[in-house]
Amino acid sequence: MEKVELLAPAGDLERLKMAVLYGADGVYLGGQIFGMRAAAKNFSIEQIEEGVAFAHQRGVKVYLTLNIIPHNEDFEGLEEYLLQVEKTGIDAMIVSDPGTFELVQETLPDMDIHISTQANTTNHRTINFWHKMGAERVVLARELSFPEIHEIREKIHPEVELEAFVHGAMCISYSGRCLLSNYMANRDANRGACAQPCRWNYYLVEEQRPGEYMPIYEDEKGTYFMNSKDLSMIGHIPEMIESGIKSLKIEGRMKTIYYVATIVRAYRMAIDAYYEDPENWTFKPEWMQEIKKVSHREFTTGFYFDKPDEKEHIYADKTYHRDYTFIGLVKSYDEETGTAVIEQRNRFFKGDTVEIVGPEKETQTFVITEMINEEGEPIDVAPHPKQQVRIPVNRPVKPYDMLRKERMDHDES
């Protein structure tokens, strides 16, 4: 049985490496022009080349996003940029605009092209149109149910691949086609600069009574009436795979390395469990527990089972749940002494109870009994970002393994 692809976001080179090591089959990233996440660090040509080499060495594909809704000036230099990108060995381009699609085909006739979710594809006729034009894959709009996806799969050409989101933030506007950010913050969401005003706190003001701010919902703080829950389909892996979807996409090019690695690892376990025994696949609560150890909102299944109702929004606040803190990344391990060098990512203390998480490893817990700084001195706290600290660990570890701890009042956010 050909396995479904687990597709992960990569906001920079470090996040690409974490996604690959923690189980992604493919990663998608943005270059420094034409991508929908302008605030992400994104990749230079040299970084794309390094990332593609790292991924390909491990059998992982890399896709480049070119999915903004462009204006005339956005095309300046794009043809030259495409020729540079081609030399990196990128596997496909993700586009949403017909003009961009045509330019990619003209410039790189052998390049695979995927149609972005920004193209709002919701029906089989549109997918067959894109396939006739030469697209290899279509990323479905988030607003589709399983019955609709099954019908689409039955009525489209067998060679065209379908991709759909399996986890991450939902947008209040149809497939991300939003004008609110541009209007309220002069940041064009359709050109990669969304300010997420749907997460802001709103009051109602009556035209004849300026200055009188009335809550829309019964809450003295106002209401976040456009604040959607996050999508999570980890409890429905069989339905996702059996719908005919080829690639399961995780949203989040703005997320941290800890988020990317943790979410990819959880979905990798759930997907692999399905292929080990499809008939008897059973959801394991520990997969959801893992997901909840990263910063997250409450979860929803989106449109897959039915149209979302008022229960799929978060009205009280826009706060993320942060129950665990990512405190460090393993840089090296000394077998003789049983100690590891940890690069600090959030403050931690001697005496902290921490968890070690790694690719294809069971989570283990231990107490930090000793901490040595770069000068060889014993310390009680690691307060400095990227500080190198040596600590004894209770099992062998590898570079890119992560340390986390349950949050306390003194933790960083």
Read off the DSSP letter of residue 293. Answer: T
Residue 277 shares a structural domain with residue 339: no
Angle at 231 between CA 229 and CA 233, to 5 degrees: 140
Give the CA-trace dihedral at 122, 177, 66, 63, to 10 degrees. -50
- Answer yes or no: do 306 and 332 share one domain: no
Which amino acid is it at 22?
A: Y
Listed residues 312, 333, 350: the one ending a domain: 312
**Last residue of some domain: 312, 332, 367?**
312
| Residues 43 and 125 grouped into a single domain | yes
How would you classify residue 77: left for phi > 0, otherwise alpha for psi between -120 and 50, otherwise beta?
Answer: left
Q: What is the CATH number of the domain that holds 352?
A: 2.40.30.10
Q: What is the pLDDT along the chain (413 residues), one digit of tens a residue?
A: 689 999 999 999 999 999 999 999 999 999 987 765 555 568 999 999 999 999 999 999 999 999 888 999 989 999 999 999 999 999 999 999 999 999 999 999 999 999 999 899 999 999 999 999 999 999 999 999 999 999 999 999 999 999 999 999 877 665 666 666 665 677 766 556 677 776 667 666 767 777 776 655 545 454 555 667 889 999 999 999 999 999 999 998 889 999 999 999 999 999 999 999 999 999 999 999 999 999 888 889 989 998 766 565 555 555 668 899 999 999 999 999 999 999 999 999 999 999 999 998 889 999 999 999 999 999 999 999 999 999 999 899 999 999 999 987 544 43
Tokens of 57: 């060495």
Q: In total, how many domains does the chain have?
A: 2
**Full-model pTM:** 0.86
Range of the domain at 97: 5-173+228-312
Tell me the CA distances in angstroms from 158 to 5, 136, 166, 176, one per residue in order.
Answer: 17, 11, 22, 28
- Domain-located, residue 63: yes
d(C-alpha 84, C-alpha 210), whole Å: 55
Q: Is residue 282 domain-shared with residue 333, that is, in the same domain?
A: no
pLDDT of residue 218: 45
392 with 360, same domain: the answer is yes
Q: Considering only CA atoms, which of 91, 73, 83 is closest in space to residue 45?
A: 83
Share of the chain above pLDDT 90, in %: 70
Asked if residue 395 and residue 264 are part of one domain, the reply reads no
CATH of the domain at 104: 3.20.20.380
* 192 in a structural domain: no
Element (H, E) at 14: helix 13-21
